[in-house]
Amino acid sequence: MNKYLIGISILLNAVLLMFLFGVLPFALYLSIIINIVFVWYTRNNLASLEEVTEDLVDTLEIIESFSNHLDQLHELETFYGDETLQALINHSREVINDLVNLQEKYYDLEVGLETYDNEEAEEEEAPEKEE
C-alpha cells in the first residue's frame, strides 16, 4: 500500500512541477527520480553479487574438505595404492582447480587454498609404480 502511495505522490508532484514551472524543472525532477532508481538497482545487484561470491567460497571450501577426506582415506592401509581412489582424488583436485579458476576470473579474491597440478599427481604416482 505504501508503494502505491509513494508512486502516486511522485506522479502528482511531477504533474504539479510541470504545470507550475514548466518543462525544465520537470526534466530535472524526472532525472533525479531516475538516478534514485538506478542507485537502488545497483545496490541490489551488488548485494546479490556478494551472496554469490560467498556461496562460491563456501562451495570451494566444501570441495577442498572432500578432497582432504579422500586423501586421508587413500592413506589408510586398506586403500593405499588403489587406482580407483587415486583417480577420484585426481578428479577432485581438477574440480578444485576449475572452481579456483572461476573464482579468480569473476571475483577479485585472493585464493588461499592449495592448487594442484596434473604434474604433481603424476610425480606422486611415479614412485608408487617403481616399488
Please list the pLDDT of the chain residue by residue as tens digits (131 residues).
Answer: 888 998 899 889 888 888 888 888 888 888 998 999 999 999 999 988 888 888 888 888 888 888 788 778 777 777 777 788 788 888 888 888 887 887 777 776 555 545 555 545 444 444 444 43
Residue 42 confidence (pLDDT): 96
Residue 5 confidence (pLDDT): 92
How far are the Cα atoms of 12, 58, 66, 67, 124 from residue 63, in angstroms, in the given order?
56, 9, 5, 6, 21
Residue 117 confidence (pLDDT): 54
Q: Which three cell numbers stand for residue 122?
A: 603424476
Q: At what angle do helices 23-75 and 83-106 cross, to 10 degrees?
A: 160
CB atoms within 10 A of CB 93: 22
